[in-house]
């Protein structure tokens, strides 16, 4: 497969991994955060920790939109589905996220009309096909998915579709990174910048990380070779005592971002003064809401949203994991009360969540050392 095979070439991967091993200072521990959930998933999926030196630790950041959505917002969204005549639509990732009264899939099994869609445009199409119903789209995601929500709203307005609304939970990544950098338990050496988000927002928004906090940032793609190259670039900056923003994902990410997408976003969204992130608490100007001109399509205006606040179970340490203070198996609930079938925290739900990825892909760690290969 073109564009994929080139970035999974075993020889090239071994070469870069070898180069990383030669470049790191054995007396120093490197802690590099991949901000994006897609990267977390790819790292586990390809077993990249196996090819990295022991003193280089990848720390999994807050970049899974499902994981950072507080339970209260899930409850709020699900309350919309309880209005008669409403079809609530959501991405596949959302369907297993638990609210206090169950997951969207469980509510659906009890009779609520909740459907999975692959894009907000599918939800709009559903609204056009079901004129007697109201279709609400439970929007989540970073700058990666926000433009498609924006374009869908622009189209809904242009077509005059009135039985359609958006429950907006879009968040932006930069304030979350800033919150982590400001956190007192922060001990990171550098960042791997998100690939998909940056296709929209470009690389400029990360300049403050290098300038104000002296940490290198390398925006990376999602294939094994992309990630290893980006790690090598971070290590090289650290060795050279440099801190700048670099773009490893040049084949996709334009430095200045994607202007039409950014314009569509600014046409329909404004920043919320503050928004709650699971594990990170309230972060100012970190989320988007619809502009008043779109109130007719804003589920928060159209429905009485209870505005629930739910504190996470006390033993759940999602916040520490999100900030990279703890590794998933260090959470007291990991693999016991909290597992992919019965997730307590959202990091266990989405396949991009650090805990779910860790549970799925590396849980065997202790045993693996004893594995006896029968063949070489």
Using CB under 8 A as the criterion, which residues of the chain lie in contact with another protein when the complex forms?
Answer: 1, 4, 8, 10, 13-14, 17, 37-38, 41, 44-51, 65, 91-93, 95-96, 105-106, 109-110, 116-119, 122, 140-142, 144-145, 196, 224, 340-341, 350-352, 359-364, 367-368, 370-375
- The two three-digit tokens of residue 162, written as one number: 């009135």
Verify binding: residue 331, ligand SF4, rule CB under 6 A.
Answer: yes
Continuous segment of H or E residues that includes residue 151: helix 146-159
Continuous segment of H or E residues that includes residue 22: helix 10-23
Among ligand SF4, another protein, none, what binds residue 263 when CB lies within 5 to 8 Å by partner kind?
none
In whole angstroms, the minimum distance from the beta carbon of 286 to ligand SF4 comes to: 20
Coil/strand/helix, residue 279: coil
Q: In whole angstroms, give the CA distance from residue 226 to residue 12.
A: 11
Encode burial over 69-87: b for 16+ CB neighbours within 10 A, e otherwise.
bbbbbbbbbbbbbeeeebb
Choose the binding region for ligand SF4 from 121-129, 210-218, 293-301, 342-350 (rule: CB under 6 A). Answer: 342-350
| Position with the least CB separation from ligand SF4 | 345
CA 195 to chain centre: 11
Verify binding: residue 62, ligand SF4, rule CB under 6 A.
Answer: no
Short-list 172, 333, 374, 330, CA closest to 257:
172
Number of residues counted as binding ligand SF4 (CB under 6 A): 14
Q: In whole angstroms, give the CA distance from residue 332 to residue 180.
A: 22
Q: Which of 126, 217, 299, 333 binds ligand SF4 (CB under 6 A)?
A: 333
> DSSP character for 68?
T
Among ligand SF4, another protein, none, what binds residue 321 when CB lies within 5 to 8 Å by partner kind?
ligand SF4
Choose the binding region for ligand SF4 from 70-78, 199-207, 311-319, 364-372 (rule: CB under 6 A). Answer: 311-319
Q: In whole angstroms, give the CA distance from residue 211 to residue 216.
A: 9
Verify binding: residue 344, ligand SF4, rule CB under 6 A.
Answer: yes
- The two three-digit tokens of residue 335, written as one number: 């693999």
Q: Does residue 63 contact residue 179 with C-beta atoms inside 8 Å?
A: no
Verify binding: residue 203, ligand SF4, rule CB under 6 A.
Answer: no
In whole angstroms, the minimum distance from the beta carbon of 307 to another protein comes to: 25
Verify binding: residue 334, ligand SF4, rule CB under 6 A.
Answer: yes
Phi-psi region of 24 (alpha: psi -120 to 50; beta: other; left: phi over 0): beta
Is the CB of 216 or the CB of 328 nearer to another protein?
328
- The two three-digit tokens of residue 140, written as one number: 């989540």
In whole angstroms, the minimum distance from the beta carbon of 315 to ligand SF4 comes to: 7
Is the CB of 24 or the CB of 318 nearer to ligand SF4?
318
Burial of 312 (0-12, 13-18, 19+ CB in 10 A): middle
Q: In whole angstroms, give the CA distance from residue 375 to residue 193.
A: 39
Among another protein, ligand SF4, none, what binds residue 17 when CB lies within 5 to 8 Å by partner kind?
another protein
Q: Which of 74, 87, 348, 357 binds ligand SF4 (CB under 6 A)?
A: 348
Verify binding: residue 355, ligand SF4, rule CB under 6 A.
Answer: yes
Among ligand SF4, another protein, none, what binds residue 21 when CB lies within 5 to 8 Å by partner kind?
none
Q: In whole angstroms, give the CA distance from residue 244 to residue 237.
A: 8
Q: Which of 153, 233, 328, 350 binds ligand SF4 (CB under 6 A)?
A: 328
Among another protein, ligand SF4, none, what binds residue 368 when CB lies within 5 to 8 Å by partner kind?
another protein
Q: Which of 58, 227, 318, 357 binds ligand SF4 (CB under 6 A)?
A: 318
Among another protein, ligand SF4, none, what binds residue 348 when CB lies within 5 to 8 Å by partner kind?
ligand SF4
Encode burial over 10-19: b for 16+ CB neighbours within 10 A, e otherwise.
eeebeebbee
Verify binding: residue 140, ligand SF4, rule CB under 6 A.
Answer: no
In angstroms, what CA-CA distances link 131 with 87, 124, 164, 254, 284? Answer: 11, 11, 9, 40, 38
Task: Name the site residues for ligand SF4 (rule: CB under 6 A).
Answer: 316-318, 321, 328, 331, 333-334, 338, 344-345, 347-348, 355
């Amino acid at each position: 497969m073109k564009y994929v095979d080139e970035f999974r070439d075993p020889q090239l991967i071994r070469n870069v991994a070898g180069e990383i091993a030669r470049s790191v200072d054995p007396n120093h521990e490197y802690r590099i955060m991949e901000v994006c959930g897609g990267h977390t998933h790819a790292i586990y999926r390809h077993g990249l920790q196996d090819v990295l030196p022991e003193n280089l630790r990848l720390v999994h950041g807050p970049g899974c939109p499902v994981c950072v959505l507080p339970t209260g917002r899930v409850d709020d969204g699900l309350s919309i589905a309880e209005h008669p005549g409403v079809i609530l639509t959501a991405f596949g990732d959302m369907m297993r996220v638990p609210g206090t009264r169950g997951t969207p899939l469980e509510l659906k099994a009890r009779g609520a009309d909740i459907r999975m869609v692959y894009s907000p445009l599918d939800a709009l199409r559903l609204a056009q096909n079901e004129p007697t119903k109201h279709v609400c789209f439970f929007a989540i995601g970073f700058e990666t998915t926000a433009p498609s929500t924006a374009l869908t709203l622009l189209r809904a307005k242009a077509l005059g579709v009135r039985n359609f609304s958006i429950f907006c939970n879009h968040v932006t990544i930069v304030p979350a990174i800033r919150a982590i950098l400001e956190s007192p338990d922060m001990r990171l050496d550098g960042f791997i910048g998100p690939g998909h988000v940056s296709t929209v927002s470009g690389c400029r928004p990360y300049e403050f990380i290098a300038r104000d906090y002296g940490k290198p940032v390398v925006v990376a793609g999602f294939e094994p070779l992309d990630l290893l190259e980006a790690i090598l670039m971070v290590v090289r900056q650290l060795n050279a005592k440099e801190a700048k923003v670099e773009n490893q994902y040049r084949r996709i990410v334009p430095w200045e971002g994607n202007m039409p997408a950014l314009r569509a976003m600014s046409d329909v969204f404004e920043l919320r003064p503050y928004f709650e992130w699971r594990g990170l608490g309230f972060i100012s100007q970190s989320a988007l809401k619809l502009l008043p001109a779109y109130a007719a399509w804003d589920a928060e205006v159209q429905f009485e949203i209870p505005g629930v606040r739910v504190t996470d179970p006390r033993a759940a340490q999602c916040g520490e994991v999100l900030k990279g203070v703890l590794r998933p198996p260090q959470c007291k609930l990991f693999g016991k009360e909290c597992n992919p079938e019965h997730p307590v925290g959202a990091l266990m739900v989405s396949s991009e969540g650090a805990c779910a990825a860790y549970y799925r892909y590396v849980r065997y760690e202790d045993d693996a050392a004893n594995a006896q290969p029968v063949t070489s």
